[in-house]
Structure 1
């Protein structure tokens, strides 16, 4: 990928020519994913927008101008859907950047995926775990590929050691979300260890705070008013929240296994810089536990 200036002074205008590169973005039809796609396409990349709803994907493509775009209908809550999608791509595609961006947040009651996993953890972590494994052949064809996984500041919200992954003992919408976002970090650190010496780097980012479809879900009038005020006082825009993903996808300065987020006050917005890891997230023992449990639950193996 083209080199950039140091991260503290970075903006998307520093991205070089991405002609010939292909990026696949989950959740690419709205919010941070769509803004990430918009910038990458604007710099010459081919972008594959991945999401559950083909009609929404088609509408998203219609909002992007220029460049080459494709869509991939895939439900991260269904291992069968993931396998069908990745089998097609793994056979022929070359993917330079996989951006694991899609997610669900603050589901008020415990729900499950098509495979019986708790919905938030099953989508945000296990779905991307299976997707990444299935796309390894396509990533291997690239000269220098990378996997960028989008976590959140919630990864540091005192979840501690990852256990009760299916939230069977105790469920809370934001607790399940924080657990899944911590898993994104632990997964990336373990993936980086396993990919050491290969052509694939693994990086995890958090976008700071932004008002996107995740925050708009299931809001009443008072909730919407609070979010509007927070956007003025604290939160960044989806455009700015895409910066960490964009930097991690294009910069020559990334370090495999690195965790990056905005440089602004309380890391809510701004140019991307190294972020503080959640406590214990770099423990190889926790990485191994999560990896083995993810393999057991999904039946998916990484051919590394």
Structure 2
């Protein structure tokens, strides 16, 4: 039985992804911060598909100690990991906050936490790494002199930069090795819990966008599931809904933001991420696809 890890699998797109992977016969490890939410998510999977194989693990991507502990536990328990879905994230945090390790919270959680997790799990990875971005990545900018946004913090500036980093990381991993299949996706527009930090005005606009051009959470999970399971999903690909403004529709190859195509930017982000997290990738130990 193949083993899949889904970060942020306790709700929204992550939970839908976990449920569907279990339906397809994977053993699913749901990773999340809160034990009660993890237990409820596992029960949801079992209720949807009796007899399915599911387990949970506590993981706080805003705490590198937690990331290391989770990865160490997985490596002890599983000789191989067939799929890692880097799905968890935070969005539009209203004021600048820091992770346990002193990174700006949005960048530290969405990018650095997943960068560290993927690198630590690399010895057991034998299949695919799917990293979930967002359409707003096209507006993102990585200012390497101000990655922690110590000046000019704005919620969506932080979010768009982190989501750009997600794509750049996925593409750079694909460029550096063919021993795992690294794929980026974005889900389009859907009513998920990631927007819990935003104010009422943004919620109103978001609700209108979902009503006009959006889709259900189940539909929004399709790019992740396509990248995770379809034989035609290519390493280095970026998949998103093919409909109007990439808000909804079946998965298809999407236009990669220009910044994420820049090999110098990607290499610099990789080096900075290794330095900040203390996780150095040994791509020679990754298992074959």
Q: Same fold (TM over 0.5)?
A: yes
Equivalent of 2:161, from 145, 169, 179? 179
- 2:186 paired residue number: 206
Equivalent of 2:152, from 156, 170, 180? 170
Note if contact 2:16-2:218 (Cα within 8 Å) is conserved in structure 1.
yes
Shift of 1:62: 1.4
Superposed, 1:42-191 pairs within 5 Å as: 42-64=23-45, 65=47, 66=50, 67-93=52-78, 94-139=80-125, 142=126, 145-159=127-141, 163-191=145-173
Residues 286/96 of structure 1: CA separation in 2 closer, same or farther (3 Å cut): same
1:25 correspondence with 2:10: no
Shift of 1:44: 1.4
Note if contact 2:174-2:235 (Cα within 8 Å) is conserved in structure 1.
yes
Shift of 1:189: 1.1
Shift of 1:214: 1.2
Q: Alignment RMSD, CA only?
A: 1.5
Shift of 1:195: 1.5
C-alpha distance in structure 2 between counterparts of 1:224 and 1:190, whole Å: 34
Equivalent of 1:272, from 241, 251, 254? 251
TM normalised by structure 1 equals 0.88
C-alpha distance in structure 2 between counterparts of 1:91 and 1:46, whole Å: 16
C-alpha distance in structure 1 between counterparts of 2:76 and 2:10, whole Å: 25
Describe the SS at the equivalent of 1:208. coil
C-alpha distance in structure 1 between counterparts of 2:260 and 2:101, whole Å: 27
Task: Between 27-36 and 65-74, report the one with greater CA deviation.
Answer: 65-74
Note if contact 2:140-2:164 (Cα within 8 Å) is conserved in structure 1.
no
Residues 128/152 of structure 1: CA separation in 2 closer, same or farther (3 Å cut): same
Describe the SS at the equivalent of 1:281. helix
| Unmatched tracts of structure 1, length 5 or more | 1-19
Note if contact 1:146-1:203 (Cα within 8 Å) is conserved in structure 2.
yes
Describe the SS at the equivalent of 1:182. helix
Describe the SS at the equivalent of 1:109. coil
Number of residue pairs aligned between Structure 1 and Structure 2: 278
Describe the SS at the equivalent of 1:96. strand
Higher helix share: 2
Describe the SS at the equivalent of 2:218. helix
Residues 34/155 of structure 1: CA separation in 2 closer, same or farther (3 Å cut): same
C-alpha distance in structure 2 between counterparts of 1:61 and 1:77, whole Å: 22
Deviation per residue, 1:244-286 (Å, 9 max, x gap): 0000000111111111100111110111100101113111111
C-alpha distance in structure 1 between counterparts of 2:18 and 2:105, whole Å: 26
- 2:287 paired residue number: none
C-alpha distance in structure 2 between counterparts of 1:158 and 1:218, whole Å: 18
C-alpha distance in structure 2 between counterparts of 1:157 and 1:55, whole Å: 36
Equivalent of 1:292, from 249, 267, 271? 271
Shift of 1:163: 4.9
- 1:14 paired residue number: none
